[in-house]
Structure 1
């Protein structure tokens, strides 16, 4: 009965918001900008109803319905008051974020996950557009010239206040922290002061993180990246934060900033990488967290090595240059999913082994590709052993094979700290197997295009060119993801060789 009542209240509230937005648009002479922001802000208040749901299907049903409604609205303009003339999929992303965060919060029991994420998106992002549009006078961000400092401060302030409010609203977030503080510090007053200081610092860090995420979002994608990233980041800090985690994240951030200045990573790539770092540190060991940094440093360094042969090979590839969020996620998401699953199934030892194998495979593939293209020797297709041009997906060289072994061995070193020599050999072998699987998939299912001479290359020769071979839309990033998922499954199936 509670679910039916909550569903009825939810639908009535959202329809009321849309109705009021229609009146606002009518009053504004049909202009929808203010009405859109009204909906953007007010719909976020739905999160206050979610604690009254008692079943997962019920809490997910409302945003799921609005994913469909918003998709239809963006196409047919069913509700003109909440859609622009040239609308992107921002409203669909908004409903999708509501569905993901509310469902995850219900399943994990992490109420702050949905509250911080959705309220930051609703109020922070909504007010940022209004404040930035009217009072935004300063545009200091070279990578986001259309966004103002004033608008970014709105996002930061809302994220800060929401995070701090959640600390005191949800007892489970401060009960354990106060208990730990009492154990370390004499006196209840001192421990409470330490807890308050830690809470304020976490809220400040979350505010800064949220503002940066909002700056990197374009074409409505911030309705995905802002709530999901901020909700996860804040939850990890509130539940697993420590001095060691703080130092680790600062070190990771320093490396990422340096890489950005060297054009090795994009701003949205920084967001994905920092969120990955927080996840691995929270749910796994310091050895796994260290392997992530080692992979990124090593991968960035070898990508900067170049010669004439490599430059020619890179001209045949797509996604060349700084790593963006897609590339970061395709190389780290399987590991993140593994540690999430292992954490909640209380199999963290298995999760760590999977992570080591994933990063060894990713590093082996990076070394094999980046160093292999330096070779002036023959490049052979791994499947049929026929010569192919340098830089062609699925092509291998002797130098690339040696580099792949070296990359795998390098990323297997941290695993020895947790599993010993047996773990090192296991991870090294799976890592090198990963680069072979990647080459095999690259030469079979990856989409490739024909150039003027009929030779295959990863990048299309002209806009809307159809793939000559492979499966459409199966890019190198997709191949990387499939390879690492395969390595995850292999590591899990063969874990008995390492874990007794």
Structure 2
């Protein structure tokens, strides 16, 4: 597949940094107004991942995403020991979610950008942001039908939210590229099932890696399979 012809300018990087700063500021403001740590983390979880949209729209080179993921991944590891990111991590918290979050963006940009299909990377990251983020919030607030996998408590309400949100992400993102069709609907259903299973069986925050990469890979595989069928 033809590779993307991509460049970068200072104002584009600046806008990405402004967006991340804005999300961090909103999270800190929520913390100061007494919102729970789970809410402040989800603000960052959902908001920060939208840098993938900026990277797509600006057609930023893959190496920027990879380099940024290494830097932020290192910061995340340090923050597990020292409170560098108090609104995101708790010291000693049994989750590697923030680290995997950063790494997943670098992996998907490093994979999808050079191949010429960045939109599959966008699908993976936005499913992680919105699907996983909303599933946790819905599950905690309205999750009355619980189940357990590998000592991890989940809820049917949260899993249904994950599935529905994942399908919507696929329809919106890929629909802007290829238009809505029965084929795309089948892709959306397949990705929703895969993402929901990956989110349900993951532990210690590894879903921030398995969900985006698994969702992107499933979307790509199903798209190619149905296109050739």
Fold shared per TM-score above 0.5? yes
1:316-363 alpha-carbon deviations (Å, 9 max, x no partner):
xxxxxxxxxxxxxxxxxxxxxxxxxxxxxxxxxxxxxxxxxxxxxxxx
Partner residue of 1:201 out of 161, 171, 186: 186
Residue correspondence of structure 1 range 325-336 to structure 2 within 5 A? none
1:367-420 alpha-carbon deviations (Å, 9 max, x no partner):
xxxxxxxxxxxxxxxxxxxxxxxxxxxxxxxxxxxxxxxxxxxxxxxxxxxxxx
- Is 1:48 the equivalent of 2:53? yes
Q: Is the 8 A contact 2:112 2:120 kept in 1?
A: yes
Q: Is the 8 A contact 1:97 1:224 kept in 2?
A: yes
Partner residue of 1:64 out of 39, 46, 70: 70
- Mapped to 2, the partners of 1:151 and 1:9 lie a distance apart of 33
Q: Which residue does 1:148 correspond to in 2?
A: 155
Structure 2 gap ranges (5+): 1-6
Q: Is the 8 A contact 1:112 1:235 kept in 2?
A: no
Secondary structure of the structure 2 residue equivalent to 1:76? coil
- Mapped to 2, the partners of 1:121 and 1:243 lie a distance apart of 28
- Mapped to 2, the partners of 1:233 and 1:43 lie a distance apart of 23
Residue correspondence of structure 1 range 49-198 to structure 2 within 5 A? 49-51=54-56, 52-87=58-93, 88-140=95-147, 146-171=153-178, 196-198=181-183
Q: Is the 8 A contact 1:139 1:147 kept in 2?
A: yes
Partner residue of 1:2 out of 8, 12, 19: 8
Residue correspondence of structure 1 range 172-321 to structure 2 within 5 A? 196-241=181-226
1:227 shift after superposition: 0.7
Secondary structure of the structure 2 residue equivalent to 1:2? coil
- Mapped to 2, the partners of 1:142 and 1:228 lie a distance apart of 21
Q: 1:10 and 1:142, CA in 2 relative to 1: closer, same or farther beyond 3 A? A: closer
Q: Is the 8 A contact 2:152 2:203 kept in 1?
A: no
Q: Which residue does 2:4 correspond to in 1?
A: none
Q: Is the 8 A contact 1:111 1:170 kept in 2?
A: no
1:105 shift after superposition: 1.8
1:168 shift after superposition: 2.0
Q: Which residue does 2:37 correspond to in 1?
A: 32
- Mapped to 2, the partners of 1:83 and 1:23 lie a distance apart of 16
Q: Which residue does 1:485 correspond to in 2?
A: none
Secondary structure of the structure 2 residue equivalent to 1:147? strand
Quote the RMSD (CA, aligned, Å). Answer: 2.1
1:243 shift after superposition: 8.4
Q: TM-score, normalised by structure 2?
A: 0.88
Q: 1:39 and 1:136, CA in 2 relative to 1: closer, same or farther beyond 3 A? A: same
| Number of residue pairs the alignment of both structures matches | 221
Residue correspondence of structure 1 range 408-487 to structure 2 within 5 A? none
Secondary structure of the structure 2 residue equivalent to 1:150? helix
- Mapped to 2, the partners of 1:7 and 1:200 lie a distance apart of 35
Q: TM-score, normalised by structure 1?
A: 0.42
Larger relative contact order (C-alpha < 8 A, sep ≥ 6)? 2
- Mapped to 1, the partners of 2:154 and 2:23 lie a distance apart of 27
Residue correspondence of structure 1 range 338-377 to structure 2 within 5 A? none
Q: Is the 8 A contact 1:156 1:211 kept in 2?
A: yes
Q: Which residue does 1:314 correspond to in 2?
A: none
Q: Is the 8 A contact 2:65 2:105 kept in 1?
A: no
